[in-house]
Structure 1
Amino acid sequence: MKKLVVKLDLHDDRDRSKAMRVVSGFEGIGSLSMDPKDSKLTVSGDFDPVKVVNKLRKSWHTDIVSVGPAKEDDGKKDGGKKEEGKKDDQVANLVKAYQAYHSTPVTYYYVPQEETPDCVIC
């Protein structure tokens, strides 16, 4: 379970409802809540926060306030060690995804062609 808090630049109720509709289309969304006073959108569930933020940034200016695990009331301490290993793997995967991609430069060749001397117009 993850919790994502995003501040959006929303101007009216139409934008708010559109943002809620866009985010609710993702798989694994557990709950959505919008604070209209601060224009903060809170999303929790089992989802990919990168995809959600990228989708929101296509339409609105987006500031990420916080990303992290959702608070659980179970209080299980034994499962925490296994989850820490999973967190390290997830962080490593995110680092790999955000590494810069340096493409090789394209080489253009110019082949000069001589004009035919038999041309009357030239």
Structure 2
Amino acid sequence: MDESRTIIVDNGAYSIKTEIAEKDEPMHIPNCIMKAKAERKRLFIGNQIDECRDCSGLYYLLPCERGYITKWEVQKPIWDQVFNKTLFPVIDKNILMTQPLFNFKSIQDCIDEIFLRNMKFPQCIDVILQT
């Protein structure tokens, strides 16, 4: 596998750690959608929270419960934000994604479908983490 063409993703319950394989330090992106009291009509996805003017009253939508993705309607926009053209151009990149040890087959299938069919990654490799 060509390291310059591979994006490594650790999709945690509270943060996503991601970077191209040949780099040393990953980016840490909040794995949530936030809504501020002061800006009711705008949603802040992932690292867009830096654009929020008043962070005193934030509401969080988290996609994971007990380490497993349960809210796909929250997780999909976060991945769209992370893997858009500004952070990682998807063109000809493979993705290596960590998975919990006892992850459900249905969750793995949904992840593969999103990355391969919807986001057009050429290859999605699942790595099981043992803790």
TM-score with structure 2 length normalisation?
A: 0.26
Task: Tell which structure's C-alpha radius of gyration is larger.
Answer: 1
Higher strand share: 2
Which fold has the larger relative contact order, with Cα–Cα distance below 8 Å and residues 6 or more apart in sequence?
1
TM-score with structure 1 length normalisation?
A: 0.27
Higher helix share: 1
